[in-house]
DNA sequence: ATCATTTTCAACCATATGGTTGAGTATATA
DNA sequence: TATATACTCAACCATATGGTTGAAAATGAT
């Protein structure tokens, strides 16, 4: 299920409007109309984006009267960040290993096969 | 341009096959056919995925004879990780602020209005 | 009760996406 | 030279995506 979540999270983050919505939400909660105001797309489009973000777990919508208050839920970013960090740490390790090899001496610089 | 890169990187990471390719590549470089072997899609499909990953800067393809050697380039993950960490650190700060408020005393626990 | 506001939903459209197959190109091998 | 291998490219297909507009539903205000 983490797999599926990662799909949804990364896919949600792949759209600039949705990232902008999250940026805005980082400044505090907001209603759908407050959120949609600065964007050059229709109200309904923003509502759809919020649906995508909500399904990815990145945003929660809570009814308050006739409004929906949206909040960011950065906990959903954890899996994505873990994934990225795993790959980056792998890279760091490899670079360090390479540097160690290079420093150890130019005798066996190539062990790629 | 970072914007555009983020679009491409997050979009590329949104597909499970592409993440699996990166996972595989984390184990070391591989040719396109080596990469495509374990996947239940056609050779051409994997080649396309590699194109997406390459355009996102996540993978490099280098010709070696008739083969293409693919390598992961985790440096491209930097922007994505920065973006995620910004939003998470924001969140952490807010949580800490909330915790501080709660500890400070139950007199003004609700300032959400 | 009526009207306005906020939001979602449904239908629709153009384009993007991920997949296929088949042809084409370049390199290795017989 | 002929043939097999590794790969990309082009054309095509089904579905997903992001956008629109126009109801519809629920709540607030008069």
| Better-scored residue on pLDDT, A89 or A12 | A12
Q: What is the pLDDT of residue A72?
A: 95
* Inside any domain, residue B48: yes
* Inside any domain, residue A22: yes
* Inside any domain, residue A92: no
Q: What is the pLDDT of residue B10?
A: 97
* Inside any domain, residue B42: yes
- Could you tell me the distance in Å between the CA of residue A48 and the C1' of nucleotide C3? 27
* Inside any domain, residue A17: yes
Find which of A87, A94, A96, A98 to mutate to test the B interface (most B CBs within 10 Å of its CB): A87
Q: How far apart are CA B110 and CA B113, in angstroms?
A: 8
Where does chain A have alpha helices with state H?
Answer: 2-13, 16-26, 32-36, 43-55, 77-104
B13 CB neighbours in chain A (<8 A) are 6, 10, 14, 80, 83
Domain count, chain A: 1
User: How many other β-carbons are positioned within 10 Å of the β-carbon of residue B83?
Assistant: 22
Band the pLDDT of A1: cuts 50, 70, 90: very low
Q: How far apart are CA B25 and CA B35, in angstroms?
A: 8
- Residue B3, pLDDT above cutoff 90: no
Band the pLDDT of B92: cuts 50, 70, 90: low
Burial of B61 (0-12, 13-18, 19+ CB in 10 A): middle
Each residue's pLDDT tens digit, A19-71: 999 999 999 999 999 999 999 999 999 999 999 999 999 999 999 999 999 99
A72 CB neighbours in chain B (<8 A) are 87, 91
Where does chain B have alpha helices with state H?
Answer: 2-13, 16-26, 32-36, 43-55, 77-104
* Inside any domain, residue A104: no
* Inside any domain, residue A64: yes
Band the pLDDT of B111: cuts 50, 70, 90: very low
CB contact under 8 A, B88 and A72: no
Taking Cα atoms as reference points, which of B66, B67, B55 lies closest to residue B29?
B67
* Inside any domain, residue A102: no
Interface residue ranges in chain B relative to chain A, Cβ cutoff 8 Å: 3, 6-7, 10-11, 13-16, 19, 22, 26, 28-29, 72, 74-75, 77-78, 80-81, 83-88, 90-91, 112
Among protein residues, the one whose C-alpha sits closest to the C1' atom of D18 is A45
Which CATH number goes with the domain that contains A37?
A: 1.10.10.10
- Residue B74, pLDDT above cutoff 50: yes
- Residue A100, pLDDT above cutoff 90: no
- Residue A9, pLDDT above cutoff 60: yes
When pLDDT is averaged across residues B72-79 and rounded to a whole number, the result is 88
- Residue B97, pLDDT above cutoff 80: no
CB contact under 8 A, A7 and B16: yes
Q: Residue A20 belongs to what domain range?
A: 2-76
């Amino acid at each position: 299920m983490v797999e599926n979540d990662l799909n949804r999270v990364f896919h949600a983050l792949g759209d600039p409007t949705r990232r902008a919505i999250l940026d805005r939400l980082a400044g505090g909660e907001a209603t759908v109309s407050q959120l949609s105001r600065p964007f050059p797309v229709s109200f309904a489009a923003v509502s759809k984006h919020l649906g995508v973000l909500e399904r990815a777990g990145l945003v929660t919508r809570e009814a308050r009267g006739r409004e929906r208050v949206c909040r960011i839920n950065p906990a959903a970013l954890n899996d994505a960040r873990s994934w990225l960090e795993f790959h980056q740490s792998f890279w760091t390790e490899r670079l360090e290993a390479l540097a160690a090899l290079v420093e150890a001496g130019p005798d066996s610089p190539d062990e790629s096969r």
